Structure 1
Amino acid sequence: MSVSATPRPSPGPSSDEGARFNPITPISRGLTWLVSRYLPDPLVFAILLTVLTFVLAWWLTPSGPTDLVQMWGGGFWNLLAFSMQMALVLVTGHALASSEPIRKVLGRVASIAKTPAQGVMLVCFAAAVTNIVNWGFGLVVGAMFAREVARRVPKSDYRLLIASAYIGFMTWHGGFSGSVPLVAATKGNPMEKTVGLIPINDTLFTGYNIGITLALIVVLPLICWMMHPKASDVVAVDPALLKPEESTRRILGPDASPAERLEESRILGFVVGAFGLVYLFLYFRAKGFDLNINTVNLIMLIAGVILHGTPMAYARAVANAARGTAGIMVQFPFYAGIQIMMEHSGLGGLITNWFVDIATKETFPVLAFLSSGLINFAVPSGGGHWVVQGPFVMPAAQQLGVDLGKAAMAIAYGEEWMNMAQPFWALPALAIAGLGVRDIMGYCATALILTLPIFLIGLYL
């Protein structure tokens, strides 16, 4: 379901008096005002980034305008498979969460929150933990859970709830689906011949990564709590717009045709579920706990079919969910074109080298992190960062004697941190919530500023 109406100020007092007086509220309010006035729609943002990348690459690299246009057009469709994966993340996750059993579970957990401020803390904590398990799962579950809390906790600030779900995304690269540490440990990755394989014991299971990730799990909900506005400034959504979607099941009459009975057959739903469960059992037995976006999508699809009961009930749930995929379909190709211009022109390497050249062994991880954050505006993809930055960061780290695992994680942290200022990954959550990017990015930018010390200290020590 998409919330089409504009959220409105919530009348009446709030029980969250503790959120009124703190130094973070003016920061988040100021950034929210700034973003609401000057941040364009994500599609326009992507187009502006395309133009900026083109101009910088033309100015700073040997590539001419014709070369750059050819790079852009040649790479425009490079993310088609990924776009489909992300669309399926949204659709299968939304369809699963709309099933009656999942709605009941989300409702029970959401009922733990008794006040609006507790609600944003609970949403952020749940999103941070689920993103450690898998980023695709965490993105969808966080947004759906935020809607459930908004439904059950009166006078919640709907914008901050959805922002809290996206802020929890900041933990993903330190978890089990972090693309940079997983790719760095995989045979055949672009950097294997240069620096060899980097096992996950040197990245994900290090003390600094565990410390940074745990610190984020604790600090992010507190930031969201402190950003909660006072009662007069709360922007709530009309509860009528958050009512659960109608059941997708159909009750057939005695005169139903054989085709209709087949479409609403629970047996067929059971068969699909059985096929999927057997495949997943064999897959995990052979490869261990190897969660990637394809297996997560399959798990959510199979679980959705089982919980909705019949094939057509699930198809109706998917149809309801598919309405929110427009942003993904339109915007991802622009980022594919930007990424290819950054990579093939050498602009990404130029930016990275500027940071690397002024680094020492002690400051190298921090400067690699900052360069990754800057490049994330044009290449908002963990795997893309490894392709664009790896060839420059990793040999330099090796030459300076920097721990290669920490250098790889510096690239990863910069990407996940700057996601709070880059609306690319917010699209699935916003589609589920029915909000626009300007509704949440002020809060996300506040979290960006306040979490910087966590990453800097973790990488420097």
Structure 2
Amino acid sequence: MSPNVMETTADQESRGKTGVESQGRLAHMAFEFTRIAEKWFPDAFVFVVLTTLVVTAADLAIGASPLQIAKGFGAGFWTLIPFTMQMAMVAITGYVVATSPPCTRLITKLAAFPSTPAGAVAWVAFISMAASYLNWALSLVLGGLLVRALARRVDLKMDYRAAGAAAYMGLGSTWALGLSSSSAMLQANPLSLPKSISDISGVIPLSQTIFLWQSVVLYLSLMTLAVVVFYFAAPRGKHVRTAQDMGVDVSIEPEPAQKPKRPGEWLEFTPVLPILVVILSVGYFWEQFSSQGVLVTVSSLNNYNFAFLMLGLLLHRNIRSFLTAVTRAVPTSAGVLIQFPFYGAIAAMLTGVLGSDGISISHHISELFVSIATTNSFPIVIGIYSAILGFLIPSGGGKWIIEAPYVLQAAKDIHAHMGWAVQVYNAAEALPNLINPFWMLPLLGILKLQARDIVGFCFTQLIFSAPVVMLLLWVFAQTLAP
């Protein structure tokens, strides 16, 4: 964080709470949480190191040897490398596409809709959560770039922190209820479903998970709640901190027109090469749609990144402009590249390191919650468990593979609806994302912020979302037959 930002924070604190009450209680709450987070919330990298040490201590407590723990740490460290690259490409390709001339104009039009600062923050939350139904990565990129566009409006004076948190709502609240739900897609695809899970539940079609009317109502309820909360929680008056106050440059410098200066550079400026490559990619997607279907194709993060990469190449029209945008986008992925390997190690230490009784930490937790579940309490018990474990293992698809055997077996044993068990996992698993820096990193890279800048607003949203999620999971479970 720049010195200017620190000075602004100190100035605000020195002024005390005068005038906060005039914003309303919700805005007061968000302001207080944010003030505390700015002062006490560590950098995301410190957070992941501390989590590593806490899990190490827990492994020691269950009787694992130091050598076992060290082995688990090292063995798991690089297990998320494919996913790390995918997430880095989410930030890079999204930035490349959004800084192309056509997308810059589109996002500028979206940014023209709000007429008030609070309305702008609520608008960002709506766009982010609507996009998350199609793809969680799209919600991050689109939301982040929309915030930057709104911040360029000198007439708006929008709080950059609140808008940044609003851009995170798609991933922090509703993504797992949409088409990119890893667990729902896994359960619906017999070719990808592990035998350990299929033997318990069999294939569960999307009509019994994300397309249940109960699931759609839950999604719409959370979207409405987030928009309302962010509208009233957005700082007003002297408590607003714009992008300029935060020391963030959101301007877009147009590229000066360039022309080839020597014959060899002609290939860098011609649109012919990008068009030919894009045509080849169109053929690939046609084959994927024909063989796997649209839903399976669009749910693949590799396909999403591939499509955005090709789209960026096409929209920039030539290789020189495309490579310039890539060079500028790479710094947005720095946090992802250095921190995701640690999360791979944490996941391995939770699931692969066994205590003196031959059981891992994750199974100790699961046995505790599953043992106390009944047909009536199942949504609440499993929801709480998934949320807690989701904070330590922030990977929707990977964590489902770990949880599914005992969660689905428990649902089967107590005669709960199998598809709703998946949705209980999906809705609850997203809750810890609101305060977990793991998923914030690509967005923070785009916004040039740190986790402490937005987590106060995210925590405010969590306070309202968590009880609503748990209540609706329980209520809707009563409407579903096994």
TM-score by length of 2: 0.89
Asked if 1:171 corresponds to 2:174, the answer is yes
Residue 207 of structure 1: how far off its partner (Å): 2.0
Once the two structures are TM-superposed, the CA of residue 250 in structure 1 deviates from its matched residue by: 4.6
Q: Residues 129 and 274 of structure 1: is their aligned pair in 2 closer, same or farther, counting only changes over 3 Å?
A: same
Report what 1:127 is aligned to.
128
Give the equivalent residue in structure 1 for 2:347.
339
Contact in 2 for aligned 1:250/1:313 (Cα 8 Å):
no
Q: In the alignment, what sits opposite 1:14?
A: none
Distance 1:354 1:318, change over 3 A: same
How much does 1:21 deviate?
4.1
1:383-404 C-alpha deviation (Å, 9 max, x unpaired): 1221222222121111111111
Q: Which amino acid aligns with 1:324?
A: T
Q: Give, as a single letter, the amino acid of the residue that structure 2 aligns with 1:332.
A: F
Q: Summarize the alignment of residues 23-422 of structure 1 with structure 2, pairs less than 5 Å apart.
A: 23-60=25-62, 62-152=63-153, 153-169=155-171, 170-187=173-190, 188-190=192-194, 191-238=197-244, 241-247=249-255, 250-252=257-259, 256-289=261-294, 290-291=297-298, 292-345=300-353, 346-422=360-436
| Whole-Å separation in 1 of the counterparts to 2:235 and 2:436 | 23
Change (3 A) 1:377 1:55: same
Task: Supply the distance in 2 between the matched residues of 1:3 and 1:427 (Cα, whole angstroms).
Answer: 18
Structure 2 residue ranges without an equivalent (≥5):
13-18, 354-359, 476-482
Is the Cα–Cα contact under 8 Å of residues 20 and 28 in structure 2 kept in the other structure?
no
Does the CA-based 8 Å contact 1:6-1:237 persist in structure 2?
A: no
Q: Distance in 1 between matches of 2:60 and 2:404?
A: 23
Distance 1:266 1:136 in 2: 28
In the TM superposition, what whole-angstrom CA distance separates every residue of 1:15-47 from its partner, at most 9, and x where no partner exists? xx9994433122212221222232211111111
Do the aligned residues in 2 keep the contact of 1:349 with 1:388 (CA within 8 Å)?
no
CA contact (8 A) 1:57 1:347 kept: yes
Partner secondary structure for residue 235 of structure 1: coil
Distance across 2 between alignment mates of 1:435 and 1:4: 14
d(CA) in 1 for partners of 2:65, 2:413: 32
Unmatched segments (≥5 aa) in structure 1: 12-16
Q: What code does the residue aligned with 1:260 have?
A: E
**How big is each residue's C-alpha offset from its partner over 1:72-110, in whole Å with a ceiling of 9 and x where there is no partner?**
111110000110000000000000000011010010111
Write out per-residue CA displacement over residues 379-429 of structure 1, whole angstroms, 9 at most, x where no aligned residue. Answer: 001012212222221211111111111112222222211100111111011
Calculate percent identity across the aligned residue pairs: 30
Paired residue for 2:357?
Answer: none
Q: What CA distance in whole angstroms lies between the structure 2 residues aligned with 1:282 and 1:398? A: 38
Question: Counterpart amino acid of 1:122?
Answer: W
Q: Secondary structure at the match of 1:389?
A: helix
RMSD (Å), alpha carbons: 2.2
CA displacement, residues 213-233 of structure 1 (integer Å, 9 cap, x when unaligned): 011121111111111112110
Please, which moves more after superposition, 78-87 or 211-220?
Answer: 211-220
TM-score by length of 1: 0.93
